[in-house]
Structure 1
Amino acid sequence: MLIEFVFWMALAILVGSFAIYLLFGLLNRLTPRLHRPLLRLIIQHLRAPLRLLGPLLAAKVVADSYPDLTIVAAVNHVIALLLIGAIAWLLIAAVRILRERIMARYDITSPDNLAARKIATQLRVLQRILVILIVFIAAACALMTFDQVKAIGASLLASAGIAGIILGFAAQKSLATFMAGLQIAISQPIRIDDVVIVEGEWGRIEEITLTYVVVRIWDQRRLIVPITYFIEQPFQNWTRVSAELMGTVFLYLDYTVPLDKLRAEQTRLLEQDPNWDGKVNVVQVTDAREHTMEVRLLVSAANSGNLWSLRVALREGMLDYIRREFPDSLPRMRAELRQPDLQAPRSHEA
């Protein structure tokens, strides 16, 4: 009887594995013909968990056919644990498919990506919450398959109130972090790809988790910030409402520079630069100092990256123009030298 049981178990596992192999082989053939993105996602994410789940289900059917064997109870317990893990794995993969399927409708790389970043942030936080819940429920179900754990659970049920209070105080920091993650997902003071200034560093929001946020600094460093920081501390978000930004270039020039020529040259440079969005083009004198005047060049661009490149190019172009056309208008120190009167005054004789 035992040899027969082992034979049918091995055969069931082979049949289950072969069935999953045939299923995904068929899907691989249909995907190029049907042009269905959903089929690609299913093949990509569900192949591995179903390769485990298929043989387990077949083995479960065989194990239930031999209730009289003493080894069947232990085998069923192992199969139950593996089934719980396989189903949890399958659900996590399904959550990933759902997130990628929704995000396929949005282009986060487009200049006007406010709606896409909003959805991406909410989906990413929601995915992490669902994964934690799936893992927690799967672990609880796995533990409840042990008779000893069931007995302990029944005894602890009476003191659940006291235990909950103790755990609440012990996990106060973790709960605050978790709630901050939920608040970030709902109110969204930050989103994926937002341009922010945190702790004096300029960067973009690269990743948002339930406990921390990764900010990609302009020089490719990564700033890891606790998620509670964005609830409790002030910070700058340059793309909270829109990715469009205005930027300034300051020039310190002599009072003799012709401002009308500067305005004409700035307009010419901006019209040749693809980073300019065609909206803001201003030249203003914002300060008059002892030796120079402060000239502010105000421009705009569709996003922070374009604005940085535009400001750099404009600064270089204007300095080159002034140095070439009005070299005397660059900052200089004035000094007036007077020749002293060498003729001594005549004395009047009495």
Structure 2
Amino acid sequence: MENVLRPVIVIGGSVVLTLLIGWATDRLLRQADQRHGETPLWGLLRRARVPYQLVLCTALLRGSYDEAKLLEANEVGIGRLLTLTLIGSSAWLVIRIAGAVVETTYSRYARASHDAARVRRVRTQVTLITRVVAAIVGVVAVAAMLLTFPAMRAAGASLLASAGIIGIVAGVAAQSTLSNVFAGLQIAFGDMVRIGDTVVVDGEWGTVEEITLTFLTVRTWDERRITMPVSYFTSKPFENWSRGTPQMTGIVYWHLDHSAPLEAMREKLRDILRECPSWDGRTYALDVTDTTPNTMEVRALMTAKDSDDVWTVRVTVRERMIRWLVQEHPYALPRVNTADATLPGARSALDGGRNRRAAADPQHPDRG
């Protein structure tokens, strides 16, 4: 009877005590979150209640396992399983706590800073720092798990203590996977590209949505996602429209007839921009940039505060200018010449024949 009650009491007591401590801790964190609404730390720490309770329960079971003498036939296996669970849950808890601290620091900085570009830079760095911490804690946890096995203990200790591990890591870093990891760190702290930046890569225009240690995701204007290795941004040129100041100059082209009213178009461009809220009011211009035998190329320039607004200004100007030309100056639109071409000699002979026929025929319409 004692052999049955002892495991039930130990396991049940550990679970009940874990639930009580977890409930009390969660209640304290909730009260702290309500009192200190200016910081999200306490609310973020509540997300770690699952690994926290798992650590508590595993630690209680592991501490009472030897004293309670549970399942003596499988003592070694169960004890090792509890140890591995304790190491894994502790790593999980550390990652959650570190993420909460880093996210709280970023939130405070974002509220205090008025520079959007700098906030995006810090956000990128915070994201990658969190991933680096998670990777380091994960590697340490796996190493600690391996060291619990007697067969791996000697090999693991000698491998970690030897200086040769540095050479191995350096050699593997030349490969694609770790080279992307180092490229991700270079992007985060080199301020090359940040989350939220507008970039053009391989002819695709979009916004940087996610940056990890190995890849970067760009969300295009039509809601597609382009996933690229971060090493691309450290080895090839790309356009970053958010680098420095986000202000941009938009360009619109028209191919019009040579008789197009340029001065009237300049005045109409000014009126269109004044009615467009996306124009930032800095400058505008309209000029002839090229000519062909049938048309001339007219270019309009206009400014906006960022890439989204410059796109809106461009499409607005293009649409309204074409509509105005169709309604007020249709002759300015490109025309195709369909008149028959005749040589000068053939034209003279044709006129002479027509005059002779007019002289011979009293009823001819050309005879005066």
Q: In which range does the TM-score fall when normalised by the shorter chain? A: 0.7 to 0.9
DSSP 3-state at the match of 1:104? helix
Deviations 1:44-67 (A, max 9, x none): x21221121222233344346558
Out of 192, 197, 201, the position equivalent to 1:198 is 201
Correspondence 1:102 to 2:114: no
1:290 paired residue number? 293
Identity of aligned residues (%): 34
Deviation at 1:216, TM superposition (A): 1.5
What do you get for the CA RMSD once the two structures are aligned? 3.1
Correspondence 1:249 to 2:261: no
One-letter amino acid matched to 2:183: A
Correspondence 1:183 to 2:189: no
1:80 paired residue number? 83
Counterparts of 1:49 and 1:335, CA distance in 2? 81
One-letter amino acid matched to 2:228: V
Deviation at 1:32, TM superposition (A): 4.1
Counterparts of 1:305 and 1:184, CA distance in 2? 24
Out of 130, 135, 139, the position equivalent to 1:127 is 130
1:215 paired residue number? 218
Deviations 1:83-142 (A, max 9, x none): 21111111111232133223324669x996211211111111211111110100011111
Counterparts of 1:317 and 1:283, CA distance in 2? 15
Out of 302, 305, 313, the position equivalent to 2:305 is 302
CA contact (8 A) 2:29 2:42 kept: yes
Uncovered stretches (5+) of structure 1, i.e. residues with no partner: 345-350
1:347 paired residue number? none
Counterparts of 1:276 and 1:55, CA distance in 2? 62
Provide the TM-score with structure 1 as the length reference. 0.86
DSSP 3-state at the match of 1:332? coil
One-letter amino acid matched to 2:123: A
Uncovered stretches (5+) of structure 2, i.e. residues with no partner: 357-368
- Provide the aligned length of Structure 1 versus Structure 2: 342
1:106–1:292 CA distance, 2 compared to 1 (3 A): farther
Correspondence 1:230 to 2:233: yes
1:28 paired residue number? 30
One-letter amino acid matched to 2:53: R
1:348 paired residue number? none
Deviations 1:193-247 (A, max 9, x none): 2222212212221111111111212222222211111111122222222222111
Deviation at 1:298, TM superposition (A): 0.6
Counterparts of 1:117 and 1:324, CA distance in 2? 46
Please give the residue correspondences for 1:54-93 in structure 2 after superposition, counting only pairs within 5 Å.
54-63=56-65, 65=67, 75-93=78-96
Moved more, 119-128 or 34-43: 34-43
Provide the TM-score with structure 2 as the length reference. 0.82
The structure with the larger Rg is 2
Correspondence 1:117 to 2:129: no
Deviation at 1:30, TM superposition (A): 5.4
CA contact (8 A) 1:276 1:306 kept: yes
Counterparts of 2:162 and 2:89, CA distance in 1? 33
Correspondence 1:272 to 2:284: no
One-letter amino acid matched to 1:343: N
1:234–1:68 CA distance, 2 compared to 1 (3 A): closer
One-letter amino acid matched to 2:200: I
CA contact (8 A) 1:286 1:294 kept: yes
